[in-house]
Structure formats: structure tokens, C-alpha cells
Amino acid sequence: MKKAFIAGLILVFTSHIQAQTFTTTGRTMINNAVDDGSNALQVNGTSIMNGYLRIRSTNGQNPIIGGRNPLYLDARNYTNNSSNIVFTKTDSSIAEIGTDVFANGGKDLYMIAGSGNANIFMMPFSGNGNVGIGTTTPQSKLAVAGTITAQRVKVTSTGWPDFVFHRDYKLPSLQETAAYINSHQHLPGIPSAEEVEKDGQDVGEMNKLLLQKIEELTLHLIKLEEEVNTLKAGK
């Protein structure tokens, strides 16, 4: 009985020893991992760690995670189905500062800059494809809460108002335009101040409307010049 017990212990111990291989050069192979001669530790299979995993370099080389394959970082909290992946820069003399990138149940992605509770949501990416800059609730594909500085903005649209110059276009008379202005306090076809303050304005659409008004004014000026020339010729 004693011999059988010892034999069993040897069998169990041997099976565990075979799962880990220690080379003479100091490298460790776990779960029958194949030694490629370049890594200090190689694991064949999935690994789970309870606690912190710190990857850093002390010889001036940059640590690499992922390599050629896509990198997958899973930081889910299985109790509330949320996750939090944090990239921070710390110093012994200052509080923790950095960028916090996390995804919640709505598959939103945020970039946060700040320290402690004084976080500033810099750029959220919503699960519906909306991107916000300076706002945490983007309601459009790109929402910016602030000033945009650009050298060029290109807006593509259809329905450019060349139809004003078509022969069948009914040009509103100046009397009709004046009557509309007296009743509504804004040009016909142009949003009122209240509408713009409430709903904003479509820059592309507004450019078309303004061009239409310029073209109508141009036609009125041409007609006025013709009348003036006729009067001059009659003298």
C-alpha cells in the first residue's frame, strides 16, 4: 500500500514537471510551449492572472504587446458588465495624470484627461458612431462644443439655385418681398432668428438660400438698369 501511494505521488509530480520546462539558459516553457530561443517565458494556452500585470523595460527598449496579430485587451468587470482600460503617467511628486479609455455596456469609448475626480471628457466615441469633442453626448456624427479653426471646409450638396436664371422661374417682385418682410421680419425662405437659435443652421443649405437671394437681387438690378436706360433713351 505504501509503495502504491509513493508511486502515485511520483506520477502526479512527474506530470506536473512535464507541464513546465526549464532550460539551461534560464528560459521557462509552460504547458508544452515550444522553445524558440528568444523568450524568457513562453506559455502555450490561455493564462488568467488575478492581480496586476506589469510590463516594462529597464534596458531602454520599448515593450511590445501584440506583435503582428491584433491586440485584444479585455478589462471587463463581470459583476456589472463594464470595462476600464487605463493608460496613466505617474510621478512621485504629482497625482495620477493620464488618459483613461474605457467602454461600457453601450460600447462607448472615451478619452479622459485629468487627475482624481477632476476628469475632463476630451473626446467620446459613441456606439452609434457619433464622435464628440468637448461634449459627452454627441447627437451627430461629429459634435464639437466650441470653436472650429480650419483652412478649408468642403460641403457637398445638391440643388444649387441656378434655377433662378431659368426662363420659367417666377421672380418675386420687390413689393411682394417688402410685404413678407413687414409681416415676418425676415426674408422669405430664410429661417427666422428664433428658428436658428433653437435648431441651429445647416451651413450648406444656408449658403444655397443666400445665393438664391443674391441671384434674385441681381435679376432685379438688371431689370432696374434696363428701365433706367429706357428712360434715358426717351429723353
pLDDT at 210: 96
The pLDDT of residue 71 is: 55
Write the pLDDT tens digit of every residue in 6-50.
555 555 545 555 566 767 677 788 877 777 777 778 888 877 777
- What is the average pLDDT across 187-204? 94
Q: What is the pLDDT of residues 124-177, one digit of tens each?
A: 777 778 888 888 788 889 999 899 999 998 988 889 999 999 999 999 999 999
Return all residues near 195 (Cβ < 8 A) that are at least 6 apart.
none
Rounded to whole angstroms, how far apart are CA atoms 60 and 226?
Answer: 82
Label residue 213 by pLDDT band (50, 70, 90). Answer: very high
Question: What residues does each domain of the chain span?
Answer: 21-72, 82-148, 162-234
Evaluate whether 39 touches 27 at the Cβ level (below 8 Å): yes
> For residues 28 and 20, is the Cβ–Cβ distance under 8 A?
yes
Query: Is there a contact between 111 and 123 (Cβ–Cβ < 8 Å)?
Result: yes
How far apart CA 83 and CA 63 sit, in angstroms, is 23
Cα 180–chain centre separation: 44
* pLDDT value at 61 more than 60: yes
**CA nearest neighbour of 65 among 85, 36, 94:** 85
Q: Which three cell numbers stand for residue 99?
A: 488618459
Nearest Cα residue to 115 out of 85, 144, 91, 84: 91
* Of 150, 158, 151, residue with least CA distance to 208: 158
Determine how many CB atoms are found less than 10 A away from the CB of residue 124: 20
pLDDT greater than 60 at residue 190: yes
Q: What is the pLDDT of residue 115?
A: 53
Give residue-wise pLDDT tens across range 91-122.
444 434 444 455 444 555 666 555 555 555 56
Grid cell 438688371 is found at 222
Determine the 3-state secondary structure of 25 from DSSP.
coil
